[in-house]
A and B are shown apart, each in its own frame.
Chain A
Amino acid sequence: AQSVTQPDIHITVSEGASLELRCNYSYGATPYLFWYVQSPGQGLQLLLKYFSGDTLVQGIKGFEAEFKRSQSSFNLRKPSVHWSDAAEYFCAVGGNNQGGKLIFGQGTELSVKP
Chain B
Amino acid sequence: EAGVAQSPRYKIIEKRQSVAFWCNPISGHATLYWYQQILGQGPKLLIQFQNNGVVDDSQLPKDRFSAERLKGVDSTLKIQPAKLEDSAVYLCASSSTVHQFFGPGTRLTVL
A-to-B contact residues, CB < 8 Å: 4, 32, 36, 41-46, 49, 51, 90, 92, 94, 96, 99-107
Q: Which of A102, A103, A106 is in CB contact (< 8 Å) with B100?
A: A102
Mostly, the B contact residues are strand
- A99 near B56 (CB under 8 angstroms)? yes
B54-75 contact mask (Cβ, 8 Å, vs A): 1 or 0: 0110000000000000000000
Q: List 6 A-B contacts (CB under 8 A).
A: A4-B42, A43-B4, A46-B99, A99-B55, A101-B33, A101-B48
- B41 near A94 (CB under 8 angstroms)? no
- A99 near B44 (CB under 8 angstroms)? no
Q: Which of B43, B45, B50 is in CB contact (< 8 Å) with A90?
A: B43
- B41 near A100 (CB under 8 angstroms)? no
- A105 near B91 (CB under 8 angstroms)? no
Q: Assuming the A-B contacts A49-B99, A99-B48, are A104 and B42 also in contact, with contact meaning beta carbons closer than 8 angstroms in the complex?
A: yes
- A94 near B98 (CB under 8 angstroms)? yes
Q: Which of A41, A51, A94, A102 is in CB contact (< 8 Å) with B104?
A: A41
> Whole-angstrom distance between the alpha carbons of A94 and B43 in the complex?
13
- A106 near B40 (CB under 8 angstroms)? yes
Q: With A90-B43, A100-B31, A106-B42 given, can you name 10 additional A-B contacts, CB distance below 8 Å?
A: A43-B4, A46-B99, A49-B98, A92-B42, A96-B98, A99-B50, A100-B33, A102-B43, A102-B100, A106-B41
